[in-house]
Amino acid sequence: MELYSGYINKLIEQFSKLPGVGSKSAQRLALHVINMPSEHVERFAQIMVEARKNIHYCNTCYTLTDKETCPICANPKRDHKMIMVVENIRDLAAYEKTGKYDGVYHVLHGAISPMMGIGPNDIRLKELVKRLEEEITEVIIATNSSLEGETTAMYISKLIKPTGVKVTRIASGVPVGGDLECIDEMTLLRALEGRTEL
Ligand code: ZN
């Protein structure tokens, strides 16, 4: 694009690489940054670099944290014998926002998808099985109700059943193909309360 100078184009290009940002939004964001006071821009850039450097996966549930163990796993008031398995951190956040779940989580970072070439070894399943060496009373599978989510739920159920640990699946009050993070809290709670044993 000849309209802008090299730096503006570079900035627009970087913004347009972000998810959900089209070329118009990228242009708007880039021009916004250029109009920001330079100390704000520096602070923004610095926080991005520091966050990327210091944030990693929790050594237990694999959510993101800047500690070795995340605040949920480190909280003695939570029920550490109940594990809710979710596909991603946004789903964990959705359940956490309801404030009604007091167990712990396990973040898979994806779902099994033969079409996309994502197999059981590509998500954090081995790590989940390892956690079952501790005394666990229930594993709640809260993967999405998409084809991938259901495939993953079935796979986990088959994997865990022989260990004798109770495996449940959240109710399908969650619309088919629905992303957990887009669903309101009431629906999430109803899905959790209506879970059935697999
Ligand atoms: Zn954790």
| All residues at 6 or more sequence positions from 167 whose CB lies less than 8 Å from its CB, including other chains | 138, 139, 141, 156, 157, 160, 161, 197, 198
pLDDT digits (tens, 9 = 90+) for 92-141: 998 999 888 999 999 999 999 989 999 999 999 999 999 999 999 999 99
pLDDT at 145: 85
pLDDT at 40: 97
In the reported structure, the alpha carbon of residue 19 is separated from the centroid of ligand 1 by a whole-number distance in angstroms of: 26
What residues pair up with 104 in beta bridges, in sequence order? 83
For the chain, which residues score pLDDT lower than 50?
176
In the reported structure, the alpha carbon of residue 18 is separated from the centroid of ligand 1 by a whole-number distance in angstroms of: 27
Tokens linked to 87: 């596909």
Q: Is the pTM of this model over 0.85?
A: no
> How far is the C-alpha of 152 from the C-alpha of 167, rounded, in Å?
13
pLDDT at 17: 95
pLDDT at 178: 58
> How far is the C-alpha of 3 from the C-alpha of 91, rounded, in Å?
41
In the reported structure, the alpha carbon of residue 105 is separated from the centroid of ligand 1 by a whole-number distance in angstroms of: 7
In the reported structure, the alpha carbon of residue 68 is separated from the centroid of ligand 1 by a whole-number distance in angstroms of: 9
pLDDT at 123: 96
In the reported structure, the alpha carbon of residue 86 is separated from the centroid of ligand 1 by a whole-number distance in angstroms of: 12
